Structure 1
Amino acid sequence: MPKLKPGTIVPSVEEDRAITAAARADADAAPLTDAQWKKAKASARVGRPPKADCKEQIALRVDADVLAWYRAQGAGWQTRMNAVLRAFRDAAIA
């Protein structure tokens, strides 16, 4: 069982039985049949949609002074480093 948050009130056995009985008596809360569960589909995807140009996380050894310079450029330094590598690749291909 997962760890509960502080202040969580767990119903007693009697309260749990009363809650279950009330739910079963409610026509709008009827349990689904196996056939209904087989037809069930997720109404929404969980998480972000996948990007077409996803990045790959790697471990790259870079000289400390080079890394310090890029980081000193502020937010987006990894994107700029990627742009420099891409430009070098494009120049080598051409």
Structure 2
Amino acid sequence: MPGKPARTGTGRTDWAALKAMSDDEIDRIAAEDEDNPPSDDDHWADAAIGLPPGKTSIHASFDRDVVEFFKHGGRGYQTRMNAVLRRYMEVQKAKEAGRP
């Protein structure tokens, strides 16, 4: 975001090596990455664009092992917990609407 300082984390990305690469080299590496298949207009035909819903702050208690499981994944554990709850909610709503 403009005006926001870059985060300095302890991730595994070698930022110096990445900055030293040319755009062509980055494109070549991306094209060879089997976990990064190419996409075309059909891939994005049904994509929905929108903002995520607003957040509500609550106090909630979770089982200790559940929290530790999500914390084990590093920063963003609350976001991951929210994603799991959101997916569950979406599946339940689809069932109620009679969709598979």
Q: TM-score, normalised by structure 1?
A: 0.43
Q: TM-score, normalised by structure 2?
A: 0.41
